[in-house]
Amino acid sequence: MFHIKMGRFLPLSALPVGYNNPFIRVFIAKSHKDKPLKSVITLPEYSFPVQAGTADSDGIIADLCDNRGENISEKNGNYSELTGLYWMWKNKLCNTGQDDCISGMYYGLAQYRRMLNFSSDDLLRLTDNDVDVVLPYPMPYEPNIHAHHERYLKDEDWSALLTALAELQPEYAEIFPQVLTQQYLYNYNVILAKKQVLREYCEWLFPILERTEELSIPKGKDRADRYIGYMGETLETLYFIKNRERFNVVHTECKLFV
């Protein structure tokens, strides 16, 4: 049985604190369908709203839009905030160069009401601790995460995903059924990671999701029920469980704004 390796939690210790100031860019997925927040949020200077699903919107609500450059903005009805992650991958993370050698370069995805919680000291400690990935505290579900997602996904959806995994990533397909029987899930598709780590994750994730769309009944182009977004949560859990020894993962609170 595979379980999430809890690893370390913020705040981290480092010597000296604040010696290395990382480059951080967190893109916050927003939608024209979002309800206004009751609370007033002051976004950190490293946060940049990006409109997800701009292709199907009548208006512009952010300076950055996921229908610019290489994108899948028109698939937002199924992918939800993951169209924002795809836009990041193709238009930010794939710009390789000398900055890939900079250890303190982090990119992340948040949602307009769900964001990873960092203090200024937490961020300053990332490089000194050689953190690869920051994920939200894993959420427990009874009896397991498969039962939790049965509210949103049909057996045919799981079958399509498992077939896609078997075709494209057989090593992951072998442990996928075991991951579904565990209780802990990384929710919301939120993440902060080193640029090259997040790029590697996207290179793994999106071909699987694209193939799942093709195998789905009905196919992805014939529906709009956010099912790919829900699958993304489970795949994020699968990926970082499978690579738990390769990456230095820490966890922090995912704040919910109302």
Tell me the pLDDT tens digit for each residue of 117-167.
Answer: 998 888 888 888 889 999 999 999 999 998 988 888 999 999 999 999 999
Residues with Cβ within 8 Å of residue 36, at least 6 apart in sequence: none
With cut-offs at 50, 70 and 90, classify the pLDDT of residue 40. Answer: confident
Q: pLDDT value at position 13?
A: 65
CA 220, 81, 38, 185 torsion-angle sign? positive
CB 106 within 8 A of CB 125: no
The stretch 74-78 carries a mean pLDDT of 96
Q: pLDDT value at position 74?
A: 97
Count CB-CB contacts under 10 A for residue 8.
Answer: 14
H or E stretch covering 49: strand 47-51
Q: pLDDT value at position 2?
A: 44
Q: What is the pTM of this model?
A: 0.93
- Which of 95, 51, 105 is CA-nearest to residue 76? 51
With cut-offs at 50, 70 and 90, classify the pLDDT of residue 100. Answer: low
CB 84 within 8 A of CB 29: yes
Tell me how many helices (H) and strands (E) the chain has: 8, 12
Tens digit of each residue's pLDDT (9 = 90 or more) over 171-230: 999 999 999 999 999 999 999 999 999 999 999 999 999 999 999 999 888 999 999 999
Asked whether the predicted pLDDT for residue 44 surpasses 70, the reply is yes
Q: pLDDT value at position 254?
A: 94
Q: How far is CA 192 from each of CA 39, 85, 220, rounded to the nearest angstrom?
A: 24, 11, 28
Q: pLDDT value at position 209?
A: 98
Q: pLDDT value at position 1?
A: 37
The stretch 104-121 carries a mean pLDDT of 92
CB 145 within 8 A of CB 180: yes
- By residue count, the chain amounts to 258
Tens digit of each residue's pLDDT (9 = 90 or more) over 213-248: 999 999 888 999 999 999 999 999 999 999 999 999
Q: What percent of the chain has pLDDT over 70?
A: 90
The CA distance from 121 to 123, in Å, is 5
The CA distance from 157 to 161, in Å, is 6
